Chain A
Amino acid sequence: MSRLETVFADFKKTGRKALIPFVTAGDPNPEFTVPLMHAMVEAGADIIELGVPFSDPMADGPVIQRASERALAHKMSLRRTLKIAAEFRQTNQTTPIVLMGYANPVEAMGYEAFADAANKAGIDGVLTVDLPPEEAADCAALLNTHNIDQIFLLAPNSAESRIKKMDAVGSGFLYYVSVKGITGAGHLDTADVERKLQLIRANTKIPVAIGFGIKEAETAKTISAFGDAVVVGSALISKVEANLDNPEKAKKEIIDLLQSMRTAMDEQV
């Protein structure tokens, strides 16, 4: 069983929902990320989404755009992101890591070389925002042969036929983007999410993570009831940005927020 399957299989028994923090690799500096990943696991994270910085993050709002810029200023790259993952794996063999980024760094590296390097670095899933199933077949097949899941997205305007398609091509989990918009958007309608998740659940058995617009513990708790996992990104990265002169303080604020989400989500169970 893959690490991702293990997490979701265990939670199926207990009813617990996965908490997935998203952080940009190398933000605000390359040394910050590995200790942060370990601390997030201690605070209750079940899966880590590691953002690969890209020069043109078209699906991201200003907070994650700036995180990318800070990381790139330190020459962060896909290769160096994989190094960070590998370093984390030296002392943690259980928490799944999902890379989240854009197609071009992967294209530049080459699918084969990337799949191989990602496997060696202990990556479990790859979510490429601008690689829908229409274009993903080659990459997904190579990742799968290296025991890595290609994670696909669903959106509020995805029709039932699209959900069925994702059920056919997806593995690991499906990522439901809970607002039409970019990361960090502010108008999450929980009733909409609940309705949409019913439709998604009726069409797939693949676990569903819900992300975009989840900023605090109460929303995380409410949303976690509708799916299998909650993703929180911009709210964490805002803490980095608010404490650029004091990364330790940023780390503490991130941990506090994750712990409050963990506690709230566990009350739901």
Chain B
Amino acid sequence: MTDTTNSYNMPDERGHFGPYGGIFIAETLIPAVEELQTAYDQYMTDPDFMAELDKDFQHYVGRPSPLYHAERWSKELGGAQIYLKREDLNHTGAHKINNTIGQILLAKRMGKTRIIAETGAGQHGVATATVCARLGLECVVYMGAVDIARQALNVYRMQLLGAKVVSVSSGSKTLKDALNEAIRDWVTNVDNTFYIIGTVAGPAPYPEMVREFQAIIGREAREQCLTQAGKLPDALIACIGGGSNAIGLFHPFINDTDVKMFGVEAAGDGIETGRHSAAICAGRPGVLHGNRTYLIEDDDGEIIETHSISAGLDYPGVGPEHAWLNDIGRADYVSVTDEEALEGFHALTKLEGIIPALESSHAMAYTLKLAPTMKTDEIIIVNLSGRGDKDMHTMAEREGIKI
């Protein structure tokens, strides 16, 4: 481990994490991100804003979320003590709300009246529709037609909350195409519209801003671990779609260089099949959706369709900070297949009575591999980024059950 992370202060003032990040966007959006950067810089040091954010975290989201010692599962695996950071217990069922609460407070202060978002699993869409309902703001959510079919429950939730869900049927009809369409909306309605991006991607300042809103996960987990176990954890595990739940957990530990970090990408049918979503493990650097990062692309730089059983991980890129943490060796990026994720799903459900989201199940699957290799007095914190209610249809269908 080099010293680089002891004084970690990425991104630089232009939103770069080494060669990654930046603002690769059309000219019409430049004033919008400049306006956002100004507001972000102003309010993140504004005590009133931070107090309002804290209050909402506590009373609306239900924070702090518990750090739960999964004793039975730990014993079963016979290795490290597994602690679950229970983001699944947040209002709306995932970590996504930490970010939408933060961004909507900014949007309100910036006087924006219309909110747009993209969504894959529908969790970010639901979290956005939720905060819009609460503030009475117009909300439009873009969602790929494939995802609309596999996350029907969340579509209905968004509609109940008053959001308009727009089906996107261009390209692969999944998350990346929803992002394209949201960007097209943003460029068209830039004056009154705030784009709530759901992960640590997009042009600066989004990767940093979303990280700061999600870092509550890691700040709490660090303190809880010290209180409950009397020491820091030895390893952190989180699944990686764009990487927001992972960076939220990782970031507050980044200078604790003895704490290992594992980001788990979706290997889908297996990396060797080409049907996966493992951008860092199997991609290479390129530019998409406003930033430079690892992408799944062909030799001509065309983006390749991805696959994962979990809609929330089915994306060809990854947040630029993860690209950087990979390159400097501060975090390790690994992948698990759909099949392995299902094992993780069942393990947690049967042994701990907690049904995880399919996204989070990828983190569970890697826990199945890592924990047995560690000593019983060592600690892993796994981010349980969301609950599995939304995935009941996918699971039932896979097991041939009609519900």
Cβ–Cβ contact A105 & B301, under 8 A: yes
Q: A153 and B27: CB pair below 8 A?
A: yes
Chain A residues 100-134 with CB under 8 Å of chain B are 102-109, 129-132, 134
Write the A49-68 contact mask toward B (1 if CB under 8 angstroms, else 0).
00001111111111001000
CA gap between A156 and B301 in the complex, in Å:
30
A181 adjacent to B180 (CB under 8 Å): no
Q: Are A58 and B183 in touch, CB under 8 angstroms?
A: yes
A107 touches B285 (CB 8 A): yes
Contact residue among A108, A155, A180 (Cβ-Cβ distance under 8 Å from B297): A108
Q: Which residues of A contact B289 (CB under 8 A)?
A: 56, 58
In the bound complex, residues from chain B placing their C-beta under 8 Å from that of A61 are 184
* Minimum Cβ distance to chain A for residue B120 (Å): 15
Q: In the complex, which of the residues B177, B188, B289 has the most CB atoms of chain A within 10 Å of its own CB atom?
A: B188
The verdict on B161 contacting chain A, using a C-beta distance below 8 Å, is no
The answer to whether B300 touches A162, judged by C-beta atoms less than 8 angstroms apart, is no
Q: Does A177 contact B (CB under 8 A)?
A: yes
The distance from the CB of A220 to the nearest CB of chain B, in whole angstroms, is: 22
User: A130-B26, A132-B27, A155-B28 are contacts. A104–B188 as well, Cβ < 8 Å?
Assistant: no
B303 at the interface (CB under 8 A from A): yes
**Inter-chain contacts of A62 with B (CB < 8 A):** 170
* In contact, A159 and B31 (Cβ under 8 angstroms): yes
Q: How far is the CA of A72 from the CA of B302 in the complex (A)?
A: 9
The reply to whether A156 and B287 form a contact with Cβ atoms under 8 Å apart is no
In Å, the complex CA distance between A154 and B289 comes to 20
Assess whether A204 is interfacial by the CB under 8 Å rule. Answer: no
Tell whether A130 pairs with B184 under 8 Å between CB atoms, given A56-B171, A155-B27.
no
Task: Tell me, rounded to whole Å, the shortest Cβ–Cβ distance linking A199 to chain B.
Answer: 15
Which of the residues A77, A103, A152 comes within 8 Å of B302, measured between beta carbons? A77
Decide yes or no whether B292 CB sits under 8 A from chain A. Answer: yes
Which residues of B have CB within 8 Å of A55?
171, 302-304
Q: Is A48 an interface residue (CB 8 A)?
A: no
> Hey, what's the 0/1 contact readout for A124-149 against B, CB within 8 Å counting as 1?
00000111101100000000000000
Question: Could you say which residues of chain B place their CB within 8 Å of the CB of A72?
Answer: 302
Expressed in whole angstroms, the minimum distance between the Cβ of A184 and any Cβ of chain B is 11
Chain B residues with CB under 8 A of A159: 31
Q: Is B270 an interface residue (CB 8 A)?
A: no
Query: A264 in the interface, Cβ–Cβ < 8 Å?
Result: no
B290 close to A (CB within 8 Å): yes
Task: Assess whether B188 is in contact with A135, with CB atoms less than 8 Å apart.
Answer: no
With contact pairs A79-B300, A105-B302, A157-B190 given, residues A134 and B14 touching in the complex (Cβ less than 8 Å):
yes
- B311: Cβ under 8 A from any A Cβ: no
For the residues of B in contact with A, the DSSP-based class is mixed
Which single member of B14, B285, B302 contacts A54 (CB below 8 Å)?
B302
Contact of A109 among B26, B171, B290, B301 (CB under 8 A): B301
The residue that B184 contacts in the complex, of A58, A69, A102, with Cβ under 8 A, is: A58
Contact B302 A182 (CB under 8 A): no
Query: Contacts A56-B176, A107-B292, A158-B31 hold; do A181 and B303 have CB atoms under 8 A apart?
Result: no
Name A153's closest neighbour in chain B (CB-CB): B27
Question: When chains A and B are docked, how far (Å) is the Cα of A56 from the Cα of B300?
Answer: 13
Residues on B with beta carbons closer than 8 Å to the beta carbon of A60 = 184
- CB pair B299–A108 under 8 Å, yes or no, is yes
In the complex the two chains form, is B300's CB within 8 Å of A158's CB?
A: no
Instruction: Evaluate whether A180 and B180 lie within 8 angstroms (CB atoms) in the complex, with A78-B301, A135-B22, A135-B23 already known.
Output: no
- Cβ distance A22 to chain B, nearest Cβ, rounded Å: 16
Q: Which residues of B contact A134 (CB under 8 A)?
A: 14, 22-23, 30
Highest count of chain A CB atoms <10 Å: which of B26, B190, B191: B26
Nearest-CB distance from B213 to chain A (Å)? 24
Residues from chain A with a CB closer than 8 A to the CB of B24 are: 103, 130-132, 135
Residue in B191, B285, B297, B300 whose Cβ sees the most chain A Cβ within 10 Å: B300
Contact, CB under 8 Å: B300 / A177: no
A104 in contact with B297 given A58-B180, A77-B302, A155-B28 (CB within 8 Å): yes
Shortest Cβ distance from residue A161 to the other chain B in the assembled complex, whole angstroms = 10
- In addition to A56-B303, A130-B25, 10 A-B residue pairs with Cβ atoms within 8 Å of each other are A56-B177, A58-B289, A62-B170, A65-B170, A103-B24, A107-B287, A130-B26, A134-B30, A158-B31, A177-B27
Chain A positions near chain B (C-beta within 8 angstroms) = 53-62, 65, 69, 72, 77-79, 102-109, 129-132, 134-135, 152-159, 162, 177, 180-182, 185
A selection of 28 A-B contacts at a CB cut-off of 8 Å is: A55-B303, A55-B304, A56-B177, A56-B289, A58-B289, A59-B26, A60-B184, A69-B170, A79-B300, A104-B287, A104-B288, A106-B301, A108-B299, A108-B300, A130-B25, A130-B26, A131-B287, A132-B24, A132-B26, A132-B27, A135-B24, A158-B30, A159-B31, A162-B31, A177-B26, A177-B28, A180-B190, A181-B28
Q: Which 3 pairs between the two chains have the least Cβ-Cβ distance?
A: A108-B301, A105-B301, A77-B300
Residues of B bordering A, CB below 8 Å? 14, 22-28, 30-31, 170-171, 176-177, 180, 183-184, 187-191, 285-290, 292, 295, 297, 299-304
